[in-house]
Structure 1
Amino acid sequence: MSKLEKHEPSLSLETITAAIAGDSIAMTEILKHYEKYIISLSLRTRYEDGYVSSVYLDEFLRRNLESTLIEKVMTFEFYL
């Protein structure tokens, strides 16, 4: 699979402006768009006795990143 096939479509201008205005459905679309990226940032490695034992999803970090994204979208100033 090439890079072009993996590329996800960008968010529409209408979705972004609706999310800025407080539309919860649009905000959900934005969160869904960034979901894979947020999860990849939230993966943590657990070490025991100096060896890698497992990789886990840090739910606190994931929720914190989602909350920060929502906050930044809501305070985003958009000019046309």
Structure 2
Amino acid sequence: MNEITQRKTVLIPYEIIVGASEGDIEAIRLVLDHFTGYIITLSTRILFDEFGNPHVCVDEDLRHRIEAKLVSKLLLFNAS
């Protein structure tokens, strides 16, 4: 078995999702924390310096935009 098939998916508990959709700040923070690794992966960019050397960095503006979009969709989510 390879490493990917052995990894278990950890789901966010339903109560946390309901709380986040109702505007509970702590629940929203837990959801953001859950997706932090994925958001950072999505917002990682390769930039080149003046000598053409590549540097991997996180585009903070893009990271904040993705987080804001996630929060806005959480608040629109109807969990009932």
- Same fold flag (TM > 0.5): yes
* Letter of the structure 2 residue corresponding to residue 64 of structure 1: R
The residue aligned with 1:20 is 21
Tell me the alpha carbon deviations over residues 27-58 of structure 1, each in whole angstroms, 9 at most, x when there is no partner: 00000000000000000011357945211110
The residue aligned with 1:46 is 47
Runs (5+) with no aligned partner, structure 2:
none
| CA positional deviation for 1:78 | 2.2
Tell me the alpha carbon deviations over residues 51-73 of structure 1, each in whole angstroms, 9 at most, x when there is no partner: 45211110000000000000000
CA contact (8 A) 2:45 2:56 kept: yes
CA contact (8 A) 1:45 1:52 kept: no
SS in 2 for 1:22: coil
Provide the rounded CA distance (Å) in 2 between the counterparts of 1:6 and 1:12. Answer: 18
Provide the rounded CA distance (Å) in 2 between the counterparts of 1:16 and 1:52. Answer: 43
> How many residues align structurally?
79
User: Is 19-28 or 50-59 further displaced after alignment?
Assistant: 50-59
Query: Percent same amino acid among aligned pairs?
Result: 29
Normalising by the residue count of structure 1, what TM-score does the alignment of the two structures yield? 0.85
Normalising by the residue count of structure 2, what TM-score does the alignment of the two structures yield? 0.85
CA RMSD of aligned residues (A): 1.9
